[in-house]
Amino acid sequence: MAEMWIHMGPQHPMTHGLWNLRIKVDGETITDAEPELGYLHRSVEKIGERRKYFMNTTLTDRLCYASAMTWTHCYCLTAEELMGVEVPPRAKYIRTVVLELQRIASHLMWLASYLPDLGLITGFLYGMRDREMFLNLLEIPSGGRLLYNYVKIGGVKRDLPPGFDAKAERVMQTLERRLKEYEDLYDNSKIFRMRTDDVGCYSASDAINWGITGPNLRSAGVPFDLRQADSYDAYPELDFTPVTTSAGNGRSDCFSRYRQRIDEMYQSMDLVRQALVKMPEGKVMAGSVPVRARGEAFRRTEDSRGEALMYLIGDGTDRPYRWKIRSPMFTTVSAAPHFLKGYKVADVPAIMGSIDMCIGETDK
């Protein structure tokens, strides 16, 4: 049969954002694919060069609408390294708490968007309902539900109010109860397993070669987590090991990527509990934060989707001379042709949904 190219996107329920996946099909089988990005390019790096260092946290919030806190935190870590600012210990612990809460909210958002792709509309309602609890939690210290602007260069904006840990504990207990329901609902659901088992496979070595990071890499059984490998904030003082799942033989398939994110939610809740218990008293903002900076710095953090890296060059003025953002999803989606080949057209939503696309950070 003659091969032909089909456009999935830019307007397609599968895309979760504005991008285009061109696939070459032979009948129903995919023989080649080519992601086309750039529809959502907002030139964040260039705009950031015209703004003062501290103003850029509003831009980094908007890099990923599902995980605003982690991106702002990555920027602030980089700027702190550039300026040589020491963050107070309490601020480090607060950052750890809000980052992990954000990670849970982001994974729930992924769950809510992935399951409708597979025809389980219930999953959307359940996922969004549970994410709401975490947004309410993050709203308490930051004042925002989606764009927090909470992490700042030198610390965090304000202290956690009294009673926050009790509220967080209540929310986490509810989520733990509900995650068990999800496991009953999806893990053993025949329809869900048929759509995800052994679909979109890649091996651990391939994932490393393609630069896939984060949950997508750990789902192939590679215990690599930047929270430990290149530790920051309060993570060195917390007790945890990277969770990994595998579809057997060091491979990752859609189901193992689903399991990985569910397991990471359990781990994040454990980390939040540890950090809330160990949290010291003290200031939440460094005493003196310089406005101008000279030199260069880069930091990488474990974003909800993988390895986020930011690189800043300062030329002695109050604005960055160059600002580079390394997005984890850009490399992952670039590898899409490799793990789409050989599967059917109907598998594309299952595969592309399972890697947790976020176009905001990919196109920047």
Partner 1 sequence: MPGPTETPGLIKSIIKPFTVTVRQMLKSTFGRPQTTLYPMERRELPPTYRGMNAVIWDLCIGCGICAEVCPNRCLKMKPETLDDDEQARAWYGSHLAKRKSKPERPAINFGHCMFCGFCEDYCPTGAMTMTDFYEMADTTREGLIYPARSLKVDMETLPQLPLINYMMESPVLYTDTCIGCRKCVDNCPTNCIIMDTGPQEREKRDGSKHNIPVPYFDYTICIGCSTCVKVCPVDCLHMEPISDSTSSGLQPAEAA
290 sits near partner 1 (criterion: CB under 8 A): yes
Residues 175-234 that bind partner 1 (CB under 8 A): 181, 184-186, 188-190, 193-194, 197-198, 201
Q: How many residues bind partner 1 (CB under 8 A)?
A: 39
CB of 334 to partner 1, least distance (A): 24
- Cβ neighbors of 347 (< 8 A, separation 6 or more) are 30, 195, 199, 200, 340
Interface with partner 1 (CB under 8 A), residue from 32, 45, 49, 139:
139
341 sits near partner 1 (criterion: CB under 8 A): no
Q: Please state the length of the chain.
A: 364
Interface with partner 1 (CB under 8 A), residue from 143, 236, 280, 282:
143
CB of 230 to partner 1, least distance (A): 29
Residues 46-65 that bind partner 1 (CB under 8 A): 51-52, 54-55, 58-59
Can you tell me whether residue 144 is helix, strand or coil? coil
- By C-alpha distance, which of 152, 161, 165 is closest to 91? 152
Interface with partner 1 (CB under 8 A), residue from 6, 121, 140, 346:
140
Q: Which is nearer to partner 1, 7 or 292 (CB)?
A: 292
Structure tokens at 223: 């215990």
Q: Are residues 230 and 220 in contact, defined by beta-carbon separation less than 8 angstroms?
A: no
**Rounded to the nearest 5°, which phi and psi values hold at 64?**
-135, 115
296 sits near partner 1 (criterion: CB under 8 A): no
Burial class (CB within 10 angstroms; exposed 0-12, middle 13-18, buried 19+) of 287: exposed
Pairing outcome for strands 20-26 and 307-315: unpaired
Q: How far is CA 181 from CA 17, 184, 268, in A?
A: 29, 5, 18
144 sits near partner 1 (criterion: CB under 8 A): yes
Residues 67-126 that bind partner 1 (CB under 8 A): 122, 126
Which residues bind to partner 1, rule: CB under 8 A?
Answer: 51-52, 54-55, 58-59, 122, 126, 129, 132, 139-144, 147, 149, 157-158, 181, 184-186, 188-190, 193-194, 197-198, 201, 247-248, 288-292
